[in-house]
Each structure stands twice: as C-alpha cells, then as structure tokens.
Amino acid sequence: MLYICGARPFKLKAMIKLKDGFSGERALVIPRMIIDLMEEDPLVSMLHITDIGYYPKAKHHFRERNEPINQYVFIYCIDGAGWYRVGNQEYTISANQYFILPAGVPHAYASDKSFPWTIYWIHFKGTLAPFYAKEANRPMDIKPIQHSRINTRIDLFEEIFNTLKNSYNLENLRYAFSMFHFYLGTLRYIQQYRNATNNSPDNENIEEITIHYMKENIEKHLSLEDIARQIGYSPSHFSMLFKKQTGHSPLTYFNLLKIQQACLLLDTTDMKINQICYKIGIEDTYYFSRLFSKIMGMSPREYRKSKKG
C-alpha cells in the first residue's frame, strides 16, 4: 500500500529505531524521505516531529552537538535529574521540569550520574516551532498539584507516539501533529490547561486529592512519606485518614493504580513487559510480575494472552 504526495510514493509502515539501548526505552525516528514529504504539506509543515521517544532511568545518557541542527529539542524530565548547555549558558534540570533547545545553536545535555533522569523527548520543526519554543530554553516547572493533569498530558504523548508508529500515511501524520499542537499548548498555556477542568476545588477530600497525586506520579516510586508530605499530613495520620476513606493503605492503593495502568498498557499497546514496568515506576520485572499476579490472579503475559484469545 502506497501514499502518493508530490508524485513520490512511500510505504505506510512506520520504522522504530532504538538509539541507546536503555532498559525500557522506546524511540521512533521518522525517515528523511517522510520528513521531506511532510514539509511539502501545508498543514503538517507548520509543526512536525522528526524524532520522539522515552528513556527511563537513562544512566550515562549524553549528547553534545557542536554542529547546530535545524530541529528544536524538547526534553521533559519526570524523574531524576540532569543538565544541559545551550550556547554558553548551562542549566540543571530535575523532576517535573522541561526545556526546549533552540534550533541552530550548539548544545549539550546529559543525565545526572548519581540520579539518572527519566525523560520524554521530541525533536520537532516547522514554521510554528519558534513560537512554541519561545522563552522555554530555561527550565520550566510542571509541578504536580490539584488539577495539574500531568497524566492526561502523558497519555497524549503516548497517543502521538502510537499514531506515528502505526503508519506514516497523510491522515496519521496530520492527526499526530494536530495533537502535538495541543501537547505544546498544554505547556505554553499551562495555567489555562489546568483551569479548564477546575470546577469545584473546594469540594475535594483527602481521597480525591491523594488519588489525583498518585495518578500524576504513576511512573515514580513514592514512599508513604512522599505522599503524606504532598497532602500536608504526618505519615501516620494521613495513612489512617486515607484507609478510613478507601479501605486500603496509601501504598496498597498506589500499587492497585499501577497495576490498573499496566493492564491498560497490556490491553492497548504492544509494549514489552520491561517497558511497561518503567511506565508504572517499577524497575524490577520479577517484582512487577509477582505484584501483578497477586492482584490479578495471573502473570502479565497470561493476562495479555487472555485478552487476545
């Protein structure tokens, strides 16, 4: 099956290229021929992705480009830490921050040696790219708070990635990059994005606030102290209140949410088991399998097989 654009045909099948071999990583590099065709399309040429990926616990990750590239580089750190240099200015970056490196400027970036970062990253171009990248070359905060909708944004990233992975036909490209406009908009207009669903903040209780915080941080390993500190209670008092409202301890409930998310990924994606582990904040695949089996009554592989039968 071929799609014709400008009298040049290309196959629809997307290509995945793993760049660095980080455990649990996923990356997609769009072929040069497809990029050339995208730049001819009046809609896609305004804003389009050339590379996209996710690196969990990317120890020893390092890039230095002394020769400038013509793409903007977006990096969103959800855990760990790192640093980057653009021109002669160097910055540190930590969890819940992002930055966009400008096109045409030498740069370098790296994961912290002691606390390696987990990042979502995108290379992008287009006539609208400078607008979205404006003033984002410094670390920009995306702190988890009430109505922060971080998990919604991560789901949007996954939808963009999966759409591009499925096919490079024109409709897929246009859909993916329409979503990318929205994705960047949730960052540039972050307060408006958060306020859009904030209808009754005063009516939330500890259960709702806590579950929201857990979902926003589903890819992290959180201790009871971490959660209690965010909610504003001592660990013991918070644990008592949360269990009274839900019937579960906070960490047990957090694990239930993690396995719920794992089931969703097993149902709707072709991610490998070790990739799903990192997506729910569990690095040990054996622990993940035991926890999954305890909660679901079957292993992750058996669960996926049962859904395909």
* Structural contact between residues 218 and 258, judged by C-beta atoms closer than 8 angstroms: yes
Q: Quick one: which of 83, 143, 80 has its CA closest to 283?
A: 80
Q: What are phi and psi of 190, to 5 degrees?
A: -65, -35
Q: Give the pLDDT of residue 73.
A: 97
Q: Give the pLDDT of residue 302.
A: 92
Q: What are phi and psi of 72, to 5 degrees?
A: -85, 145
Q: Please, which residues bridge with residue 128 across strands?
A: none
Q: Quick one: which of 157, 130, 172 has its CA closest to 37?
A: 172
Q: Give the pLDDT of residue 201.
A: 39
What angle, 0 to 180 degrees and rounded to 10, lies between the N-to-C axes of helices 206-216 and 224-231? 120
Intervals of the chain under pLDDT 70: 1-22, 146, 198-204, 308-309
Q: Give the pLDDT of residue 19.
A: 43
Question: Helix, strand, or coil here: 87?
Answer: coil
Q: Please, which residues bridge with residue 75 across strands?
A: 99, 121
Q: Quick one: which of 210, 220, 211 has its CA closest to 280?
A: 220
Q: Give the pLDDT of residue 96.
A: 92
Q: Give the pLDDT of residue 307.
A: 72
Structure tokens at 62: 């390092």
Q: Give the pLDDT of residue 195.
A: 78
* Structural contact between residues 147 and 194, judged by C-beta atoms closer than 8 angstroms: yes
Q: Which amino acid is at 217?
A: N
The predicted-structure confidence for 124-158, as pLDDT tens digits, reads as follows 999 999 999 998 999 999 887 767 788 889 999 99
Q: What are phi and psi of 233, to 5 degrees?
A: -130, 165
Rounded distance between C-alpha atoms, residue 211 and residue 192, angstroms: 22
Rounded distance between C-alpha atoms, residue 117 and residue 113, angstroms: 9
* Structural contact between residues 102 and 86, judged by C-beta atoms closer than 8 angstroms: yes
Asked if CATH classification 3.50.50.60 holds for the domain at 204-308, the reply, yes or no, is no
Query: Which CATH number is correct for 2-195, 2.60.120.280, 3.30.470.30, 2.30.29.30, 1.10.10.10?
Result: 2.60.120.280
Structure tokens at 188: 């540039």
Question: Helix, strand, or coil here: 252?
Answer: helix
Domain regions of the chain by residue span: 2-195, 204-308
Burial class (CB in 10 A: 0-12, 13-18, 19+), 78: buried
